[in-house]
Amino acid sequence: MNDNFIGTVRTVFAKMFTFIFFALAAAILVSLSKTVVEGIINGKDIMQIFLSSINTGIIALAVFELALVIHHEYSSHDQEEDAVVGLRRTIPRFIGTVCVALSLEGLIMVIKYSQLELAGNLYYPVAIITSTAFLLIALSVFLYLTKDAKEVSK
């Protein structure tokens, strides 16, 4: 097939997915705002409202980061760059956002379970925090193993 056609299709799909993920991030933020306002109006506990809001906000941030990665990686017209170099540039930001989201989720669950005196249910948040640690270790191994990719691609 024609390389120009493939490039055009790639750019169109990248823009569509970027738009979809930006729209999802905006919808999540609107939902977050609505939930906070409704919680305050209905007199719910402010701490519970903000703890659940943190989770939703981090999810919106992760979706936003995904949209940025897609836009940057797939709609750029510079196809000469090595794929590993591109991954080294964009993946750490996205994985970092996911790790922050998972860590916050685990910590919020630990706080919630300790307040409710449900110490027997701590296996799930401990598993989340441990998984986050393994994800960070895997990211560091990837970065270490591909540190010379920039030199090789030149």
Does residue 74 sit in the same domain as residue 88?
A: no
Could you tell me the end-to-end alpha-carbon distance of the chain, in angstroms, rounded to an integer?
28
Boundary (domain end) residue, out of 59, 79, 99: 79
In which band, very low, low, confident or very high, does the pLDDT at 44 lie, cut at 50, 70 and 90? confident
Residue pLDDT, tens place only, 51-62:
778 888 888 888
In which band, very low, low, confident or very high, does the pLDDT at 33 lie, cut at 50, 70 and 90? very high
Q: State residue 23's pLDDT score.
A: 95
Does residue 8 sit in the same domain as residue 73?
A: yes
Which runs of consecutive H residues, i.e. helices, occur in the chain? 3-41, 46-74, 83-115, 123-145, 149-153
140 Cα distance to chain centroid? 17
Residue pLDDT, tens place only, 107-116:
888 888 877 7
In which band, very low, low, confident or very high, does the pLDDT at 90 lie, cut at 50, 70 and 90? confident
Count of domains observed in the chain: 2
The fraction of the chain above a pLDDT of 70, given in percent, is 90
Measured between alpha carbons, how far is 103 from 98 in angstroms, rounded to an integer?
A: 9
The fraction of the chain above a pLDDT of 90, given in percent, is 23
Q: State residue 128's pLDDT score.
A: 92
Does residue 20 sit in the same domain as residue 63?
A: yes
Domain that holds residue 106: 80-154
**Lowest-confidence region among 30-44, 45-59, 68-82:** 68-82
Q: State residue 132's pLDDT score.
A: 94
Q: State residue 79's pLDDT score.
A: 55
Does residue 120 sit in the same domain as residue 63?
A: no
